[in-house]
Amino acid sequence: MQPPPENRQAWWSRFQTLLDEQEEWPTQYLFKFIVPRAQQAALEEVFDGNPVTVRASTKGNYVSVTARIEMASSEDVIAVYREAGKIEGVISL
């Protein structure tokens, strides 16, 4: 979930508005990412010890990582996406 650089702040602001319109906080929020296998541990660290489900791709080069975590606010959700976005090759679903 990486917005274009020229619209980054506006994109995050709109995403936060959508989250606040669609969710009641706190809530269980579902995160899904695809990442190169070599980056799996870095992505799992983003979830700070919360349980994750990991599935390897057919060839094993990538893994999907899913986590359902209690989030207190839209700001907390965005913080997870921003942290995950720092990982090379990560794709948010």
Domain ranges of the chain: 5-92
pLDDT on residue 2: 57
Q: What is the pLDDT along the chain (93 residues), one digit of tens a residue?
A: 555 566 788 989 999 999 999 999 999 999 999 999 999 999 999 998 899 999 999 999 999 999 999 999 999 999 999 999 999 999 999
pLDDT on residue 19: 96
Distance from C-alpha of 46 to C-alpha of 82, rounded to nearest angstrom? 10
Reading the block at residue 40, the tokens are: 């799996």
* Nearest partner of 30 among 65, 83, 79, 69, judged by Cα: 69
Query: Is 74:20 a contact under the CB 8 Å cutoff?
Result: yes
Inter-axis angle of helices 8-22 and 74-85, nearest 10: 140
pLDDT on residue 6: 63
pLDDT on residue 76: 97
pLDDT on residue 7: 75
Q: Under CATH, what is the fold of the domain 5-92?
A: Alpha-Beta Plaits (3.30.70)
* Strand order across the 53-56 sheet: 53-56, 62-71, 27-36, 91-92
